Chains A and B, each alone.
Chain A
Amino acid sequence: DSGVTQTPKHLITATGQRVTLRCSPRSGDLSVYWYQQSLDQGLQFLIQYYNGEERAKGNILERFSAQQFPDLHSELNLSSLELGDSALYFCASSLTGYSGANVLTFGAGSRLTVL
């Protein structure tokens, strides 16, 4: 158990639907990161939050949005789902939001299947 909790573990839904993925960071960590990993691909950075504020943005689609709440948990909202959105979605957390000596701890991921 890494200390980063992601729910749900598996999710199957239909095209056009909307889903919410949830992440609770490791205790004491202030920063949360979201990544997408399609089948047999590397990790694609989506977005980072630090202490409730957006810190960095990657190739996140306009149909996707995220936020970090005062208790530091984060949610990734995916809407108007397409077949190509089927992927593993990982959340990671770190103590600070700065690059440098800043180790990421990853959750087990949420596997989204869009039919």
Chain B
Amino acid sequence: DAKTTQPPSMDCAEGRAANLPCNHSTISGNEYVYWYRQIHSQGPQYIIHGLKNNETNEMASLIITEDRKSSTLILPHATLRDTAVYYCIGSNYQLIWGAGTKLIIKP
């Protein structure tokens, strides 16, 4: 199971792109990278996932390095509602959830 490492907190100005890094150097070749977020004490919400290629959906973009040892979640135009804890997890996610990154969007 991939163990992931994320910065404990980050700030971003409203309207700017928020770039959240994640290190997953132990990820195996067939293991996906998932991103979820948790707003206050609500249930975590799925954002995006990827294996090798970069991915984009209506919420975010996911950039995975060629060696797959790290990735970056990009929220293109952050709003105050994007303030949350963001979790990056490997495929066998039911076992290992770290502390995530607390992202604070500032007006």
CB of B43 within 8 A of CB of A107, answer yes
The proximity string for A residues 77-109 relative to B, scoring 1 for CB distances below 8 Å and 0 otherwise, is 000000000001010100000011111111111
A-B CB contact pairs (8 Å), 27 listed: A2-B43, A33-B94, A35-B97, A42-B87, A42-B98, A43-B87, A45-B94, A45-B95, A45-B96, A58-B94, A88-B41, A90-B43, A99-B31, A99-B92, A99-B94, A102-B91, A103-B34, A103-B46, A103-B49, A104-B36, A104-B44, A104-B46, A104-B93, A105-B46, A107-B43, A108-B42, A109-B43
Contacting residues, chain B, for A92 (C-beta < 8 A): 43-44
A109 contact set on B, CB distance < 8 A? 41-43
Q: How many A-B residue pairs have CB under 8 A?
A: 60
Q: Are A42 and B100 in contact (CB under 8 A)?
A: yes
Q: Are B100 and A99 in contact (CB under 8 A)?
A: no
Could you tell me the dominant secondary structure of chain A's interface residues? loop
Q: Digit string of B84-106 for contact with A (CB within 8 Å is 1, else 0)?
A: 00010001111111111000000
User: How many chain A residues touch B (Cβ–Cβ < 8 Å)?
Assistant: 27
Residue numbers in A under 8 Å from B43 (CB-CB): 2, 4, 90, 92, 106-109
What are the interface flags for A1-18 relative to B under an 8 Å C-beta threshold, 1 for contact and 0 otherwise?
010100000000000000
Count chain B CB atoms within 10 A of each CB in A35, A56, A102 and give the residue with the most: A102
Give the residue name and chain of the B residue nearest to A56 (CB): B94
CB distance from B90 to the nearest CB of A (A): 9
The CA-CA distance from A108 to B45 in the complex, in Å, is 10
In-complex Cβ contact of A56 among B32, B51, B95 (8 A): B95
Residue A48, interface by CB 8 Å:
yes
Question: A residues within 8 A CB of B45?
Answer: 2, 106
Q: Which residues of A contact B92 (CB under 8 A)?
A: 99
Output the least CB separation between B71 and chain A (Å): 16
Task: Knowing A100-B30, A100-B32 are in contact, say whether A43-B95 is a contact too (CB < 8 A).
Answer: no
